[in-house]
Amino acid sequence: MFYREAGDFKTSYCDDGQTFPIKLDRMGYYVILGVAAMVVPFVINDYWASAVLLPFLIYAIASIGLNILTGYAGQVSLGTGGFMAVGAYAVYKLMTAFPEVSVLIHILLAGGITAMVGIAFGLPSLRIKGFYLAVATLAAQFFLVWLFNKVPWFYNYSASGQITAPERTVLGWAVTGPAASPAAKYLVCLLFVVFAAWVARNLTRGMVGRKWMAIRDMDIAAEIIGVNPLTAKLSAFGISSFFVGIAGALLFAVYLGAAEVTEAFGINKSFLVLFMVIIGGLGSIFGSFAGAAFLVLLPVLLKNLLVGALGWPTDLAAHIELMIVGALIIFFLIVEPHGLARLWQLVKEKLRLWPFPH
Amino acid sequence: MMEQFFYASEVFINGLMTGVMYALVALGFVLIYKASGVFNYAQGVLALFAALTLVGIMEGQVPFRHIINAIFGTHLENFGWTVGPVLAILLTAGVMVLLAILIEKLVLQHLVGQEPIILFMATIGLAYFLEGLGDVMWGADIKTLDVGLPQGISESIETATYNLFGYGFFIDRLDIWATIIAALLVAALVAFSQYTKQGRAMRAVADDHQAALSVGISLQFIWIMVWSIAGFVALVAGIMWGTKSGVQFSLSLIALKALPVLMLGGFTSIPGAIVGGLIIGVGEKLFEFWVGPLVGGATENWFAYVLALIFLVFRPQGLFGERIIERV
């Protein structure tokens, strides 16, 4: 009824190959972008920013990063938390060492540094794969967290061992530190999310992405048709870590403001992002957003329902949340391995024919 | 000089004992992996769950009392009885068998034929679920577990070695018992898989699912059996670790220690799990002893992984692993 593509003609390959080939989708995308950039910053308040929107945007970037590696290139990584920590500590060192440079550049540079670390830890992927590799990436997770804990240079010899983001401004607005307004924080994260989604979308539908998918589907066949596994795997590790690093930098500098590495970037972060990718949909940019939204909203909803409405103790609600997340992972793996993204696609296909399904 | 040598050998022996404990957890992984090709991340949580259940049964706690109290506003705590260790262990083993059946029916049956990595991720989900379930059932507070195993430093060994070498070795009696029990368990498992009909069926399934099916072996039964055995191994590991350091969430993290053990020893080999466990146990203790002070300590968190990682680059199938991973 509402979702129609009839009369939406394309006269060139260029039109046909765009990200949103259907006009209605395209309009929806512009509307969402417009609302996110021009309406939300004026109505945002502290609760919405810190409980929902900021974590959603930041984890969406991390999910896009992991989705490139796991969903597109087929290399399962459990080291996401460690790479996020690299991003956070890199941006901290850059912010304190070069205070006059814009924080936006620092965040990008932190992503670059994380990319290099990611490539270094991706090197074993040339020899080992599958869950041998998944377990090997745990080495990155534990080693990096230990490193940031034990080497005082990384946290500037502060007494508490914590890193605290100093105040930095963009165009005169504080975006980090205690004085930052929710709207400013939100806009910075939004900027990076749009950038990440745009880059990832265009990489994954181009030659690089096709090489990744060839490696994922069958690496030996891919090599025979001329994909170089070395460059394909390492570029996947590098680009994935770049986004994960940006997410880590934003998580620390913009969202948390202060972080302690074992608490903020432990192994649970790795699993959280992996779950977002699985629930959202492996190999889908939209899925990264859907998974991030789902796993950010679920605890908030459960907390409001169980603790707020029913008056249950908080720890009980947390344990029930664990059960629900675990059950959902299994449920999605059994019923819909392509996650929420596939469900959304199915809804659209149904809507196309509705109300006359023949 | 002599003093230092003795101290190093004490560290070495303690490392061996820790390695036995790692091997105990790794054993559960190997069993499941061999028989069903599932890399079971939830093994550590299984150990935690088993230990929680054991404590709960021994103390006569009402299961799900927190959630019942929250819903009905009651104040249930204990049934008011206590159960002896032997009976409690038997009951817990029963619970683990029940769990194995449920896991097979609800999860594994639906994932037959999926890629191994999907199954691996499903067991991560299972780990989360079981962790939540354990906490909801029995409460998340730290519990002490005492099934009557001897604990503390063994004085007899200390005095005996002092008289012999002039240096008293500090060795935990629990570790000695753990070593003995682990050795018995391994012997029992080997005997089971070599000399019983079910054991033979298990090896047949491990070798070739389809061929096993075609000679009339029930895959379903074998999987339930293997998961039950793994649950029992988890129970033994849970008792050891729970007695040593209390039953709490960190128990499930020993699974993370067992992963590099497996990578080193090979995923499919029971001797591999034991040798790998000993190497990791000794290696991380010695590394912490020699290199730890230079780099600020706590190297135990990552040493095992980095060792396994470097090792894998040179020998991707591990020490005793049978299948060589195809290389690209």
Give chain B's radius of gyration (CA, Å). 21
User: Per DSSP, what are the bridge partners of residue A258?
Assistant: A164
Model confidence at A203: pLDDT above 70: yes
In DSSP notation, B134-158 reads HHHHH-SS-B---SS---SB-HHHH
- Tens-place pLDDT, residues A30-67: 888 888 888 888 888 878 888 888 899 999 999 999 99
Task: Please give the torsion angle defined by the CA atoms of residues A133, A134, A136 and A142, in that order, rounded to the nearest 10 degrees.
Answer: 160
Q: What is the pTM assigned to this prediction?
A: 0.86
Strands (E), chain B: none
Cβ of A138 within 8 Å of Cβ of B316? The answer is: no
Model confidence at A149: pLDDT above 70: yes
The confidence band for B321, taking pLDDT boundaries of 50, 70 and 90, is low
- Give the residue-averaged pLDDT of A338-349: 85
Classify A358 as helix, strand or coil. Answer: coil
How confident is the model at residue A258, as a pLDDT? 82
Look up the ipTM and state it: 0.82
No. of helices (H) and no. of strands (E), chain B: 14, 0
- Give the residue-averaged pLDDT of A68-96: 90
Classify A329 as helix, strand or coil. Answer: helix
How confident is the model at residue B328, as a pLDDT? 42
- Give the residue-averaged pLDDT of A10-26: 81
Contact between residue B254 and residue B277 where contact means Cβ atoms under 8 Å apart: no
- Tens-place pLDDT, residues A156-198: 787 777 888 887 878 878 877 777 788 888 888 999 999 999 9
How confident is the model at residue B326, as a pLDDT? 55
How confident is the model at residue B73, as a pLDDT? 74
Contact between residue A71 and residue A207 where contact means Cβ atoms under 8 Å apart: no
**Of B29, B326, B250, B45, the residue nearest A135 (C-alpha):** B29
A320, two tokens:
């029930």
Q: What phi and psi, each to the nearest 5 degrees, are found at residue B201?
A: -60, -40
The confidence band for A235, taking pLDDT boundaries of 50, 70 and 90, is very high
Please enumerate in sequence order all residues whose Cβ is within 8 A of that of B295, keeping only pairs 6 or more positions apart, or say none. Answer: A150
Model confidence at B323: pLDDT above 70: no
Residues of A in contact with B135 (CB under 8 A): 315, 319, 322
| Mean of the per-residue pLDDT values of chain B | 80
Residues of A in contact with B131 (CB under 8 A): 319, 322, 326
Q: How close A167 comes to chain B (CA, Å)?
A: 31
Classify A258 as helix, strand or coil. Answer: strand
Model confidence at B324: pLDDT above 60: no
Alpha-carbon gap, residue A195 to B220, rounded angstroms: 49
3-state secondary structure A13-72: HHHHCCCCCCHHHHHHHHHHHHHHHHHHHHHCCHHHHHHHHHHHHHHHHHHHHHHHHHHH
More confident residue, B318 or A245: A245
Residues of B in contact with A150 (CB under 8 A): 295-298
Best B48, B129, B249, B268 member to test A by mutation, with max A CBs in 10 Å, is B129
Cβ of B70 within 8 Å of Cβ of A149? The answer is: no
Alpha-carbon gap, residue A119 to A114, rounded angstroms: 9
CB proximity under 8 Å: A 116-145 to B: 124, 126-132, 134-136, 138-139, 142-143, 145
Give chain A's radius of gyration (CA, Å). 21
- Tens-place pLDDT, residues B51-100: 888 888 888 777 777 777 777 777 777 777 777 788 888 998 999 999 98
How confident is the model at residue B80, as a pLDDT? 72
| Mean of the per-residue pLDDT values of chain A | 85
List helix spans (H) across chain A.
13-16, 23-34, 40-43, 46-48, 54-66, 80-97, 103-122, 131-150, 182-204, 207-217, 219-224, 229-250, 261-264, 267-280, 285-302, 314-335, 339-353
How confident is the model at residue A59, as a pLDDT? 93
How confident is the model at residue A1, as a pLDDT? 53
Residues of B in contact with A325 (CB under 8 A): 125, 128, 132
How confident is the model at residue A83, as a pLDDT? 93
Residue of chain A nearest B115, judged by CA positions: A130
